[in-house]
Amino acid sequence: MSAAAPEGWQSRYFSAQDGLRLHYREYGARDARGVPVLCLSGLTRNARDFHDLASWLAPERRVICPDYRGRGRSAYDSDWHNYDPRVYLDDLRHLLAVARVHRAVFVGTSLGGLLTMGMAVLAPTAVTGAVLNDVGPELGTSGLSRIINYIGRDHPVAGWDEAVAALRRLMPGMAQQPDHVVRELARGTYREGDDGRLHVDWDTAIAKSLHPAGTGDRDLWPIFRALADRPVLALRGAQSDILSAPTFERMGGELPTIRRITVPEVGHAPTLAEPEVRAAIADLLRGVDGRSPAVRT
């Protein structure tokens, strides 16, 4: 199912393997010659976060931006236990099958980067390149605790100005960002409710599946190393409390061919609109397109 939108993208829905109705945005032409791009958002985020990036990429390639279950236009799950990376990975594999995308460059912010690593293990031929945005195999516990503390309950606000102010309080990394950037982030954070107020655009039950200790005893470095032998770009906000500088440094040692960029005066996470980030993404995509046969999906 699909519905046209004036912004240059299609709104599409599909049924997950358990029957839940999930949504994704699709940009660009299905027969575009460039390798497709799959954009995966952060924990509570949704497809709106990638509108600017996807619009920039769409003239040359197909871009797919899903809403995870419990976010955006996707249905909420009645069983919070399904807010689990293993289920998200199943949803993504099903999405690729439904969309008939056999291989793509994955752009993953935060949770999306972890899912990118997971896809490199479960469906290695599907991941032809990766952009990991402010995430690595080890997560900062202070940053994760900060996130868990606010996603488990609604934060209704009266209007968009109040929403911008609320995000600046909740997200220290927004301190240096101009109002128009934070306002766009707010539009992917809140939705208007029947009461006329703005409410968070995710199922607050997501918080039940999280642990403040981060990955705990799970060693994610082997999963990260599954990205070897393909182009990888890693980004870190210089003020990030999710991806530490030592972890970022080790990522370079684990994957010697990885390209790493630290974005100054930015917390968690870079917007992907920064000039140096756009240039690096363009370089990665040129390399992928150049070494790959034209892909029509």
Alpha helices in the chain (DSSP H): 51-57, 85-99, 111-122, 141-151, 160-170, 179-187, 221-225, 245-254, 275-291
Lowest mean pLDDT across 155-159, 177-181, 247-251, 282-286: 177-181
Is residue 6 scored above 60 in pLDDT? no
Are 201 and 191 a contacting pair, CB within 8 Å? yes
* Residue 163 lies inside a defined structural domain of this protein: no
DSSP one-letter code for 3: E
- For residue 83, being part of any structural domain is answered with yes
Does 198 reside within a domain?
no
Residues 19-25 have a mean pLDDT of 98
Mean pLDDT of 45-73: 96
pLDDT at 210: 82
Give the distance from CA 32 to its chain's centroid. Answer: 22
Q: Are 133 and 235 in contact (CB under 8 A)?
A: yes
* Within a domain: 25: yes
**Residue 248: inside a domain, yes or no?**
yes
pLDDT digits (tens, 9 = 90+) for 189-228: 999 999 999 999 999 999 998 865 555 557 899 999 999 9
Model confidence at 238: pLDDT above 50: yes
> Do residues 113 and 135 make contact, with C-beta atoms less than 8 angstroms apart?
yes
Q: Residue 241: pLDDT above 70?
A: yes
What is d(CA 92, CA 255) in angstroms, rounded to the nearest whole number? 25
Confidence of residue 150 (pLDDT cuts 50, 70, 90): confident
- The average pLDDT across 50-66 equals 96
Closest CA to 280 of 131, 145, 135, 143: 131
pLDDT, position 292: 60
CA 94 to chain centre: 17
Q: Is residue 209 part of a domain?
A: no
Q: What is the CATH number of the domain that holds 85?
A: 3.40.50.1820
Averaged pLDDT of the chain: 90
State how far the Cα of 200 lies from the Cα of 205, in Å rounded to an integer: 12
Q: Is residue 233 part of a domain?
A: yes
How does strand 21-27 pair with strand 9-15? antiparallel
| Residue-range definition of the domain harbouring residue 95 | 2-140+214-291
What per-residue confidence (pLDDT) applies to 183?
A: 87
Instruction: Characterise 100 by phi-psi region: left (phi > 0), alpha (psi -120 to 50), beta (else).
Output: left
Looking at per-residue confidence, does 141 or 108 come out higher? 108
Helices (H), 152-239: 160-170, 179-187, 221-225
Residue 249 domain flag: yes
> Residue 4: pLDDT above 90?
no
Question: Are the beta carbons of 136 and 234 closer than 8 angstroms?
Answer: yes
Number of domains in the chain: 1
> H or E element: which one contains 23?
strand 21-27
